[in-house]
Amino acid sequence: AVRPPFQARLTRAVSAAPHLPPPRARSPRGRAWTMSEPRCFKRVGPYDLFTTLGQGSFAIVYRGQHRISKRTVAVKAIVRARLNQKLQANLEAEISILQTLQHPHIVRLHDVQTTERHVYLVMELCPGGDLLRVIRSQGAQTEAQTRGYMLQLVRGLAYLREHNLVHRDLKPQNLLLSSHLPDATLKIADFGFARYMQQADLAETLCGSPLYMAPEILRFHKYDAKADLWSVGTIAFELLTTRPPYTGANHVQLLQHIEASEVELPGGISQECASLLRSLLRRDPTQRLSFGSLFAHPFLYPPELSGGSHAADHAPPSPALAPAL
């Protein structure tokens, strides 16, 4: 069957995108701009765009606001002319996937707007920045702090596994925070490389960020959902040490370093923490920790946190996610 053109496919995705609910009351018209308010430099559909939050090769992220409901959002402006066929397919997949996801630890897609030159993804705003900012500004995290972030990441991953989704680009830059406060909510973002994979499915596409990429991907071998677990291990390691477990000037050198030796764990960590890192950073994916075992690992769910007023915050995800996953 012949695939419809990109514009037609995108139009279908946009028409299915969740839109903001209608406002309860309309804002007054004709009110003059004052110096105390940020100046809007561009309007996209019902949204005013203000300051730039970040910029990449294909997109710029702005702080935006719905003109009537006043909801503050992050607007990802993607330049159509810079998208090749593969990137177009990734964008379509990202929109399609995000439309189906609604979870406290997944960044929410509110709306999609299109123009002749741009596609605008209207996302949930995460004012706390990303986890890399935390690492760079605060330095190495304690085990308790690391556990707090990992618990939230694991809950988001459990939700993705329930929907047979693999992220394939987990890294600190794609883990956003709802605020700058210590109890900020962590949210998984950037689903451009995500795909649906059943338990027995294998993929062979080289994608993701090299420093967080599983060795089976670096070897150009087929891989399964456990590739995400290697990335989880590298994130936990970096939280504890401020650096990834392995580095290299390129893919080849990075893989050589991974294959040359077992990961050197940081000193002074608990047995439970060391067990988690070793189990996640196994080079052979068949020997790597399973999703089910991760969701019940004693580092994340120690006995002393299983009771008390915050027990629900530390309860493992659904037991339906069996250790065999």
Domains of the chain: residue spans and CATH: 45-125 (3.30.200.20), 131-314 (1.10.510.10)
Q: What is the pLDDT of residue 302?
A: 86
Q: What is the pLDDT of residue 264?
A: 94
Q: What is the pLDDT of residue 224?
A: 87
Active site residues: 169
Residue type at 107 in one-letter notation: V
Q: What is the pLDDT of residue 32?
A: 45
Contact call for residues 199 and 237 (beta carbons, < 8 A): no
Token pair, residue 228, equals 């995400």
Q: What is the pLDDT of residue 4?
A: 66
Strand partners, 47: 44, 66
SS (H, E, C) the chain: CCCCCHHHHHHHHHHHCCCCCCCCCCCCCCCCCCCCCCCCCEEECCEEEEEEEEECCCEEEEEEEECCCCCEEEEEEEEHHHCCHHHHHHHHHHHHHHHHCCCCCECCEEEEEECCCEEEEEEECCCCCEHHHHHHHHCCCCHHHHHHHHHHHHHHHHHHHHCCEECCCCCHHHEEECCCCCCCCEEECCCCCCEECCCCCCECCCCCCHHHCCHHHHCCCCECCCHHHHHHHHHHHHHHHCCCCCCCCCHHHHHHHHHHCCCCCCCCCCHHHHHHHHHHCCCCHHHCCCHHHHCCCCCCCCHHHCCCCCHHHHCCCCCCCCCCC
**pLDDT tens-digit readout, 18-27:** 555 444 444 4
Token pair, residue 196, equals 């649906």
Token pair, residue 33, equals 């701009």
Contact call for residues 180 and 127 (beta carbons, < 8 A): yes
Q: What is the mean pLDDT of each run of 10 residues along the chain (325 residues)?
A: 63 60 43 55 93 88 96 96 91 95 98 95 97 97 97 97 94 97 95 78 61 92 91 98 94 93 93 98 95 95 63 53 43
**pLDDT tens-digit readout, 165-192:** 999 999 999 999 999 998 999 999 999 8
Q: What is the pLDDT of residue 223?
A: 85
Q: What is the pLDDT of residue 319?
A: 42
- Annotated binding-site residues read 76
- Annotated binding-site residues for ATP read 76
Measuring CA to CA, which residue among 176, 175, 171, 169 is closest to residue 203?
A: 169
The structure tokens 């390129």 sit at: 250
Entry pTM: 0.83
Token pair, residue 249, equals 């000037």
